[in-house]
Amino acid sequence: MINFKSILIALVISIVGFNLSYSQTQEKPNILWIVSEDNSPLIGAYGDDFATTPNIDKLAEEGFLYTHAYANAPVCAPARNTIITGVYANSSGNSNMRSNYPKSEEIKLFPSFLRKAGYYVTNNAKEDYNITQEQTRDVWNESSGQAHYKNRTPGQPFFAVFNTGLSHESSIHEIKASKDLRHDPGKVKLPPYHPDTPEIRHDWAQYYDNIEDMDNWVGAKLKELEESGETENTIVIYYGDHGGVLGRSKRYVYETGTRVPFIVRIPDKFKHLWPNESPGSKVERIISFVDLAPTMLSIIETSVPDFMQGEAFLGSQKEKDEPEYAFMFRDRMDERYDMSRAVRDKKFRYIRNYLPYRIYGQRLDFLWRARSIRSWEETCLKGDCNDIQQVFWNTKPTEELYDTENDPWEVNNLALDPEYSSELLRMRKANLEWMINIKDSGFIPEAELVDMAGKQAIYDYMRTGKVPLEDIIKIAEKMVMVCEKDIMEVASYLKSDDSAIRYWGATGALILGAKAIPLIPELKKMVNDPSPNVRIVASEALYTLGEKNAGRIGFRSALKSSNSFARTHALNAIESVGDNSDEMQEAVIAMAREAGKLVRDSYDHRAAKTLLDKWKIDPNKYGIKYAW
């Protein structure tokens, strides 16, 4: 006789057991990152009616759209370093573009925490973390063009990253025929700082085509997730890795370089992770890339380690008090030295420029491959640019302040407007406190810092107590706003035992210009300074004072340095002062010829190429070969 009671009990146990097993494997959500390169929020969901982005727009309708999301750096490698570590790259010593310095052993890459928690972690496929490749080797279960969450053990939660270069800056280098454009160049709404030229309109239209292609790719990734049956178990995060790509966006700490699209979709079963809003809502909380690592750990309920400098914005460790600011930084971009820091609240953006004697639009090999930037430069050189369009080719003010609500393209600098003095002082103070707190390594010139740290991670070196960093930062703050009455103070810094203080003292002399005449004797001594960076800035200051022969001594010496970053710095300065004398040309040729072959990521050689091209010197005549 059939015992129905026993069968029923067995069936219940079976069902409960299955559900327990399933809940144990799926108690933590899958996390899928969909990442596009080099795009600001040129997305329909962000109000851009020229964009064709139905897939991302639909994702926003189903999830949460963050209105104030920022890359901490406006270029990929430092931005990605900040993401993967949860530490600002200017704190860890990895803020200079593709410098690949070793990271501190104290700093762990966040996917390793997920892997330890049982996640299958994959990356497809770009890393570009600005650290030595050996230090990323054991982070992922798989990091390649074939990496995929489908390769995991059945039931195992996954963290998977998929990255596309369809919207990358290089996508406008190869010019698409006008007849093939899907977006009409004539309908592009140009920013006020771009002159209205056919080349600029074409690049903008082609870029919108690329954004549309990227959106289709996003749609394919979402469809793939749905077909896998994992949609209801998976948090999806879509974001751009920084802004871009037309001139004055990528590489610059404006909205166009740092504000990114950022959308999170969280299934109903994990609604306890929702922000205070409901799906389809906009979230105004300020977030930035430094917050991503702690947020991922918070979502999976793993303790956020003390070394991380960001704040979780989702999960059990979410910071209840919303941050008032996001912080951003810019240091060397490929072969061009510049240094800026930025602070953003929900209304204003503050920028502080530490090399105000450099123009914004320094010629950079990769950027100049786009027709649009060349067209912009040529138009202004012909005198056909208005005042706003010309600013990019001028030297910078030390401070910039923009009301981003009323001036979204950031062309009306309010820093000198008394009406906004309270905002200026408040954000200036926030910037200073942040830099001191994180131990900003950017205040030590790169060549100097590399030599001082040796094989030690820069993050660790900055915490040895050997660097009087707070004093250096405060001196730098003073020197970039130096006045004639400060000349005795500048003179004292030129005699300091600390090379970084001498560097910033020489910077003060350079900014003073003709007012620094009393400092000429001391500056002449400094062309033989032990620090090549000090020699270079002192030499450039001497040029502004008419002492070219003395300045050339420092430049020639720096070009012979064993440190490639010192050579790059010298070449930047030589181009800036416009010295095309036979003596300087011979020194640059000798430096380039010494290397034999100029490799792609050797930035001193890129800078040398620019000078040789400007001087119309045939490199083949001197046996100089380029690798690109």
Residues recognised as catalytic: 76
Q: Which residues pair with 160 in a beta bridge?
A: 32, 122
How far is residue 416 from each of residues 235, 353, 391, measured CA to CA in Å?
Answer: 45, 15, 16
Q: Which two tokens stand for residue 204?
A: 């903008």
∠ CA 520-537-332, nearest 5°, is: 165
Beta strands in 184-251 (DSSP E): 234-240
How many angstroms separate the CA atoms of 620 and 618, rounded?
5
List CB contacts of 136: < 8 A, sequence separation 6 or more: 109, 127, 129, 143
How far is residue 75 from each of residues 94, 217, 544, measured CA to CA in Å?
Answer: 12, 22, 32
- Closest to 169 measured CA to CA, from 128, 215, 210: 210
How many angstroms separate the CA atoms of 78 and 93, rounded?
10
Task: Report the DSSP pairing between strands 597-598 and 625-626.
Answer: parallel
CB atoms within 10 A of CB 68: 20
Task: Report the DSSP pairing between strands 120-124 and 158-164.
Answer: parallel
Q: Which residues pair with 265 in a beta bridge?
A: 236
CB 105 within 8 A of CB 463: no
Q: Which two tokens stand for residue 96?
A: 């200079």
CB 375 within 8 A of CB 368: no
Q: Which residues pair with 30 in a beta bridge?
A: 234
